[in-house]
Amino acid sequence: MHPLLNIATLAARSAGGNIMHHLDRIDQLNIEQKGKNDYVSEVDKEAENTIIQTIRKYYPDHHILAEESGKLTLKNKKSDIEWIIDPLDGTTNFLHQFPQFCVSIAVREKGKLQHAAIFDPVRDEMFSATRGGGAFLNNRRLRISQQKTLTNSLLATGFPYHDFSYIDSYMASLKEFMLTTAGVRRAGSAALDLAYVACGRVDGFWEFNLKQWDMAAGALLIQEAGGLVTDFKGGENYLQSGNILAANPKLYKEMAQVISRTVPVELRN
C-alpha cells in the first residue's frame, strides 16, 4: 500500500471509531444547523479533528480541504499535495441512527486525484484506491458492474435537500430513470453511493450540486474499478460543478443521454 494511502486508511478508521463511539448516545450530542436540512454535530468535528491530527503527524506540510474546517493552507509551506476530507458523510442518517454513513478521504497531487479511502464503520468496510493500482474493498479487488443497459439496472442518486433551485430538472431525470430501470435508491451518503458503484452493488449514480469532499474519493474508486466519472457535459469538471455522472462505459452512454434530454444546458455547467 502506498504510504499516503496507508495514512488515509489509518485516519479513516480512527475517525470511524469516533463515530461509532457516539452512535448510541445521539440524544446527548450538541448539534448545529448550518442551513436548511444541513446539520453538523460534535461528532463531525471530532472525527475531522482526528483525521487532521493523523495527517499532520506524518505530513505536517500538506494542505487540507475539509468539510467543517475549510481550506487549511499552511503559510510559507509549499506542497503539491492536498487532502480532501469528509469526516462524516451522511450526518442526517447518523443523527437518526440510520446505518448508512461513512468517512471519506482523498489525496490530490498537483491537482489530480491519486489516493482514496472510504470507510463504512457500521459494516467495517474499507474501500481504497491508488491511481494506477486498482480499487479494493478490504483487500479484495473491485470491478464495476457490467450492466449494459438501463433495463434491469439499479441506480443510486441523492435528492435535493437544501438547495431546491434545480428540483424540476432533477425530478425530470429521476422520472425517466424510474421508468427505464429496475429501481433507484437514495440512501443518503453520496460517498458510499459512489463506493457502491465501484464494487457493483449499484450500476450507476448521478447527482446535482455536491461538494468536492462528497465526490473526490468515490470518483477515484470508480475510475480504478473500470468505470467512467464525468460532469453532466461529459467533461472532468465534476469536482468544480458539483454535478456528477458515473457508471461503466456502456451504461454511462445511456445515462448521459437521459441527462442531456432532461437537464437544461445551463444546469449542466
pLDDT value of position 32: 72
Q: Are residues 135 and 171 in the same domain?
A: no
Across 89-97, average pLDDT: 93
pLDDT value of position 73: 59
Query: pTM of the predicted model, to two decimals?
Result: 0.94
Q: Are residues 164 and 122 in the same domain?
A: no
Q: Are residues 18 and 111 in the same domain?
A: yes
In a domain, 214, yes or no: yes
Of the residues 109, 141, 173, which one is the last residue of a structural domain?
141
Q: Are residues 11 and 115 in the same domain?
A: yes
Eight-state DSSP code of residue 80: S
Of the residues 141, 165, 197, which one is the last residue of a structural domain?
141
Q: Are residues 163 and 34 in the same domain?
A: no
Q: Are residues 128 and 45 in the same domain?
A: yes
Return the percentage of the chain with pLDDT > 90, whole number. Answer: 79
* Per-residue pLDDT tens over the stretch 214-257: 999 999 999 999 999 999 999 999 999 999 999 999 999 999 99
Domain that holds residue 242: 154-267
Flag whether pLDDT at 266 surpasses 80. Answer: no
Q: What is the CATH number of the domain that holds 197?
A: 3.40.190.80
| Closest C-alpha among 89, 164, 93, 83 to residue 119 | 89
Cell numbers found for residue 249: 462505459
Instruction: Name 31's Cβ contacts closer than 8 Å, sequence gap at least 6.
Output: 39, 40, 41, 42, 95
CA distance 66 to 216: 12
Of the residues 91, 108, 141, which one is the last residue of a structural domain?
141
Flag whether pLDDT at 156 surpasses 70. Answer: yes
Sequential DSSP letters for 144-190: -----SSTT-EEEE---SS--TTHHHHHHHHHHHHHHSSEEE--S-H
Q: Are residues 118 and 214 in the same domain?
A: no
Q: Say which residue, 71 or 52, is predicted with more confidence.
A: 52
In a domain, 146, yes or no: no
- Number of domains the chain is built from: 2
pLDDT value of position 1: 86
Average pLDDT, the chain: 92
Q: Are residues 21 and 117 in the same domain?
A: yes
* Per-residue pLDDT tens over the stretch 159-181: 887 778 879 999 999 999 999 99
Q: What is the CATH number of the domain that holds 80?
A: 3.30.540.10
Q: Are residues 10 and 133 in the same domain?
A: yes
Q: Are residues 127 and 32 in the same domain?
A: yes
Return the percentage of the chain with pLDDT > 70, whole number. Answer: 94
